[in-house]
Chain A
Amino acid sequence: MSKIGLVIGREYSSRVRKKSFILMTILGPLLFAGIIAAAIWVSVADNTEHEVLVVDYAGMLSYVNPDNGRMEASYPEIFKGDEKLQFHFTDQLPSDSSFMNSPYTLMLEFDDSILAAKKAHLYYKDLPSTQVSMRITGALENGIERVKVRENDQIDYHTYKRLKTSISLAKFDIMHKEDASLDQEKGIVGMMLAIIIFFFIFLYGSQVMRGVIEEKSNRIVEVIVSSIKPFQLMMGKIIGIGLVGLTQFLIWIVLSIVIFSVAGMIFESGGFDSVAAVNGLRSGGQTPIDFETFLQQQDGFSLLVSINWPLILFMFFIYFIGGYLLYGSLFASVGAAVDSETDTQQFLMPVMLPLFFSYFVAIMSVNNPEGFAAKVFSFIPLSSPIIMMIRTPMNSTTIWELLLSVALLFATAVFFVWLAGRIYRTGILMYGKKPSYREIWKWIKFNS
């Protein structure tokens, strides 16, 4: 085994055997699942009353009642509503201001293109809960299916499956139509990934720093660098710890899949009956739905099923590796420059600042992933790993943007690793007084 391999092996095995690592690795996905369960529960427990104006241009689901001249539902049993949700029909789109002044809280808009596109628009004054939009979607799907089945008296299961329609609602805030809220929901996934990548870079990067300080304060480092080049030792440490991070993430993915499968099995075997009942999930009490469909209908979580996970996870790995290399080498330099963790503050500031800054830019980008700030900072390597985790799931990037951003990230990471190597090889052998930035600059400039 090569010497750098030995270092990687030591760094890796000493960390994955730690109780804290095992605990975090197991608890992570449980925590994740818990958050999702809590979010579902919250979305279920909603008591707002809604009046929905259905703008049915083509008269697919409504007709003019000759008795009173008003538009009414063709299938009143589907759109009968209750005290929490009432449907009203029209064939003309009101102006935004008249909608704003009307008692209606939501406006559902579609024409006959819905048969092919399976898309409808939902305008809102306040974003409706998952439960409400799911009921609207359910009613609309049911209605459209009725339209499709109208001429079939007897249909077999395959025909039914073919006719069965799942419609996605594109939601728009009536006040800011350009801000499509669907992106906001996709942003939830991005947000989670951004938080995870932020913590991964931060936690594992600072582990590199602590590892370097440990070797320095234990006075073992000079023994080691008499057997192996300082750069190899540093790289071994960075790679070893990075692999620990990747291992944790992989285990999280596997455990998450297991948890979701188990939850799915429980759901389908009736364990979720109460939730399903509240949501009126069983269409007309006839068609029990599977867990995947259930998740799909949960607007916020439909992405968990429909999102391009392989691409997102691949990008996560790429950006984690790049961001971690970049920040990890910065953390390694900080560790090499000081004698103990209490001395790190002064040098940690310039490392943490861009990391936290990126995090805040990321939060802003959820609302405006195509905005100037989001675009600029998704190319700056110090912030791109976090910002791109928001933008990628929101589909607001092009492949060229991704490639350019990744290329810039890795080029900078390599440069930072080189820089860190020069600081490291001098820093690890310096004890006593804390160096100034000027001295560190000299370490970089002078040959060792």
Chain B
Amino acid sequence: MNALEAKHITKKYAEHVALDDVSIQVPEGAVFGLLGPNGAGKTSLIRIINQITGPDEGEIVLFGESLQAKHVSNIGYLPEERGLYKKMKVGEQAMYLAQLKGMRKQEAKQKLEAWFERFEIMAWWNKKVEELSKGMAQKIQFVTTVLHEPKLLILDEPFSGFDPINVELIRNELMRLKDEGASIILSTHNMGSVEEICDNIALINKSKKVLEGRVDDIREAHAHQEYELRFKGTAIAFANALWTNFELLSQEGDQDLQRARVRLGEGMKLNDLLRAVVDHVELIDVNRNLPSMNDIFIQTVTQNAEEHE
């Protein structure tokens, strides 16, 4: 079952179309990356899922049910514009937010205390938020997002504005929550984290979905037949060994260790490449060169822009 399905979502504002027939599928238990340049419509989609706004057309299905008010307690949302009441005490505030999510007082208190112990922030309970550092406040925000054990977590740009220690902490917590069965949607610009933690992605550009699928599949699909080879031997010998069917993209190193990137020509296989060079240099290892999500992101978005022109 999919944790979430957005079906043909269209959302128009007074001046522009924020989402144009966007459909996505978030598999249960997956980390789903919602990618796209600023203003593409990611936040609009996230707000629709959170029932902050409603779609003009289309439907959201959450764990097999059409989205309703009661689903608020199944979702944990950390918006891009996130903050806390500055004048309110940490514990009181966390309790308030938990109860708004439908938790009972007793339950909220127990779970909060457990989280506070784990993050070693119990001493902050009676402090006002304005007394905390930004990094401390970020921890509280994260705890209040996941406290009610939502089946679906939605984090809008979770790594922007967080300090590196918190980024690491949150990344680990997300992986733990995923292992416990939570499905996670995160919208991000941080392409490094996409490759590392996302199982699936959707790329939204100019209000339209332009790409969706498993990260591995997408990288595979965008891969040119490129390999990186490391070997001992002379660069000239290596270059001479390649026929016209292979393109030498780059080469560097010295006699002891050379590194070369080679693109296969039409109809060529890795075996053909190996056969061509194996007698001329001493191979150490060969790796498939997959495009980074960053490359795919930029490539798709620019392509998209060119098509529009």
Distance (whole angstroms) from the CB of B271 to the closest CB of chain A: 54
CB closest residue in chain A, given B75: A226
Task: Decide: A222 near B85, CB < 8 A? Known: A227-B97, A446-B13.
Answer: no
Taking a contact as CB atoms closer than 8 A, the residue among B52, B97, B102 that contacts A222 in the complex is: B52
Q: In the complex the two chains form, is A220's CB within 8 Å of B52's CB?
A: no
Distance (whole angstroms) from the CB of A253 to the closest CB of chain B: 29
Q: In the complex the two chains form, is B96's CB within 8 Å of A429's CB?
A: no
Q: Which of A7, A223, A230, A442 has the most CB of B within 10 A?
A: A223
Q: In the complex, which range does the number of interface residues on chain A fall in? A: 20 to 34
CB closest residue in chain A, given B97: A223
Distance (whole angstroms) from the CB of A335 to the closest CB of chain B: 15
Q: In the complex the two chains form, is A223's CB within 8 Å of B47's CB?
A: no
Flag the segment in B76-84, B183-191, B276-284 that touches A: B76-84
Interface class of chain A by DSSP = helix
For B84, what are the chain A residues with a Cβ–Cβ distance below 8 Å?
A: 218, 220
For B127, what are the chain A residues with a Cβ–Cβ distance below 8 Å?
A: none
CB closest residue in chain B, given A228: B100
Interface class of chain B by DSSP = loop
Complex Cα–Cα for A219 and B84 (A): 7
Taking a contact as CB atoms closer than 8 A, the residue among B51, B77, B99 that contacts A6 in the complex is: B99
For B145, what are the chain A residues with a Cβ–Cβ distance below 8 Å?
A: 223
For A445, what are the chain B residues with a Cβ–Cβ distance below 8 Å?
A: 14
For B96, what are the chain A residues with a Cβ–Cβ distance below 8 Å?
A: 6, 10
B53 in contact (CB, < 8 A)? yes
CB closest residue in chain A, given B81: A219
Complex Cα–Cα for A14 and B51 (A): 28
Complex Cα–Cα for A3 and B85 (A): 18
A23 in contact (CB, < 8 A)? no
Taking a contact as CB atoms closer than 8 A, the residue among A3, A218, A223, A439 that contacts B77 in the complex is: A223
For A244, what are the chain B residues with a Cβ–Cβ distance below 8 Å?
A: none
For A223, what are the chain B residues with a Cβ–Cβ distance below 8 Å?
A: 77-79, 82-83, 97, 141, 144-145
For B100, what are the chain A residues with a Cβ–Cβ distance below 8 Å?
A: 3, 6-7, 224, 227-228
Task: Decide: A218 near B54, CB < 8 A? Known: A224-B100, A429-B47.
Answer: no
Q: In the complex the two chains form, is B99's CB within 8 Å of A214's CB?
A: no
For B144, what are the chain A residues with a Cβ–Cβ distance below 8 Å?
A: 223
For A439, what are the chain B residues with a Cβ–Cβ distance below 8 Å?
A: 14
Complex Cα–Cα for A134 and B106 (A): 66
Distance (whole angstroms) from the CB of A223 to the closest CB of chain B: 6
Q: In the complex the two chains form, is B101's CB within 8 Å of A448's CB?
A: no
Mask, B54-77, CB within 8 Å of A = 1, is: 101000000000000000100101
Mask, A434-448, CB within 8 Å of B = 1, is: 000001001001111
For B56, what are the chain A residues with a Cβ–Cβ distance below 8 Å?
A: 447
Q: In the complex the two chains form, is A448's CB within 8 Å of B53's CB?
A: yes
Complex Cα–Cα for A223 and B79 (A): 7
CB closest residue in chain B, given A217: B83
Q: In the complex the two chains form, is B77's CB within 8 Å of A226's CB?
A: yes
Taking a contact as CB atoms closer than 8 A, the residue among B50, B75, B87 that contacts A14 in the complex is: B87
For B77, what are the chain A residues with a Cβ–Cβ distance below 8 Å?
A: 222-223, 226
Mask, A127-139, CB within 8 Å of B = 1, is: 0000000000000
B132 in contact (CB, < 8 A)? no
Distance (whole angstroms) from the CB of A375 to the closest CB of chain B: 42
Complex Cα–Cα for A219 and B52 (A): 15
For A219, what are the chain B residues with a Cβ–Cβ distance below 8 Å?
A: 79, 81-83
Q: Which of B86, B88, B100 has the most CB of A within 10 A?
A: B100
Complex Cα–Cα for A195 and B14 (A): 42
CB contact list, A295-340 vs B, under 8 A: none
CB contact list, B176-194 vs A, under 8 A: none
A277 in contact (CB, < 8 A)? no
CB closest residue in chain B, given A225: B52
Q: In the complex the two chains form, is B81's CB within 8 Å of A222's CB?
A: yes
Complex Cα–Cα for A249 and B96 (A): 28
Q: In the complex the two chains form, is B14's CB within 8 Å of A230's CB?
A: no
For A21, what are the chain B residues with a Cβ–Cβ distance below 8 Å?
A: none
Q: In the complex, which range does the number of interface residues on chain B fall in? A: 20 to 34
Taking a contact as CB atoms closer than 8 A, the residue among B54, B72, B141 that contacts A448 in the complex is: B54
Task: Decide: A431 near B81, CB < 8 A? Known: A226-B50, A447-B54.
Answer: yes
For A14, what are the chain B residues with a Cβ–Cβ distance below 8 Å?
A: 87-88
A117 in contact (CB, < 8 A)? no
CB contact list, A1-20 vs B, under 8 A: 1, 3, 6-7, 10, 14
Distance (whole angstroms) from the CB of B8 to the closest CB of chain A: 18
CB closest residue in chain B, given A219: B83
Complex Cα–Cα for A230 and B72 (A): 13
Q: Which of A215, A425, A448 has the most CB of B within 10 A?
A: A448
For B79, what are the chain A residues with a Cβ–Cβ distance below 8 Å?
A: 219, 222-223, 226
CB closest residue in chain B, given A220: B83
Complex Cα–Cα for A439 and B97 (A): 32
Distance (whole angstroms) from the CB of A361 to the closest CB of chain B: 38
Q: In the complex the two chains form, is A214's CB within 8 Å of B101's CB?
A: no
CB closest residue in chain A, given B141: A223
Task: Decide: A429 near B82, CB < 8 A? Known: A226-B72, A226-B75, A228-B100.
Answer: no
Q: In the complex the two chains form, is B54's CB within 8 Å of A222's CB?
A: no
CB closest residue in chain B, given A233: B100
Q: In the complex the two chains form, is B47's CB within 8 Å of A442's CB?
A: no
CB contact list, A200-250 vs B, under 8 A: 214-215, 218-220, 222-228, 230
Taking a contact as CB atoms closer than 8 A, the residue among A6, A10, A222 that contacts B82 in the complex is: A222
Distance (whole angstroms) from the CB of B298 to the closest CB of chain A: 26
Distance (whole angstroms) from the CB of B156 to the closest CB of chain A: 9
Complex Cα–Cα for A116 and B180 (A): 90
CB closest residue in chain B, given A232: B100
Distance (whole angstroms) from the CB of A303 to the closest CB of chain B: 42
Complex Cα–Cα for A230 and B53 (A): 10
Taking a contact as CB atoms closer than 8 A, the residue among A6, A230, A447 that contacts B52 in the complex is: A230
CB closest residue in chain A, given B53: A448
Complex Cα–Cα for A123 and B56 (A): 74
For A215, what are the chain B residues with a Cβ–Cβ distance below 8 Å?
A: 85
CB closest residue in chain B, given A224: B100
Question: Given known contacts A14-B88, A227-B102, what 14 new A-B pairs fall within 8 Å (CB)?
Answer: A1-B99, A6-B99, A6-B100, A218-B85, A222-B81, A223-B78, A223-B82, A223-B144, A226-B72, A228-B72, A429-B47, A439-B14, A446-B13, A448-B53
Q: Nearest 10 pairs between A and B by C-beta? A: A219-B83, A227-B100, A222-B79, A442-B14, A226-B77, A218-B83, A226-B50, A219-B81, A220-B83, A448-B53
Q: What are 17 A-B pairs with beta-carbon distances under 8 A?
A: A3-B100, A3-B102, A6-B96, A6-B100, A220-B83, A220-B85, A222-B52, A222-B77, A223-B83, A223-B97, A223-B144, A223-B145, A224-B97, A429-B52, A442-B14, A446-B14, A448-B53
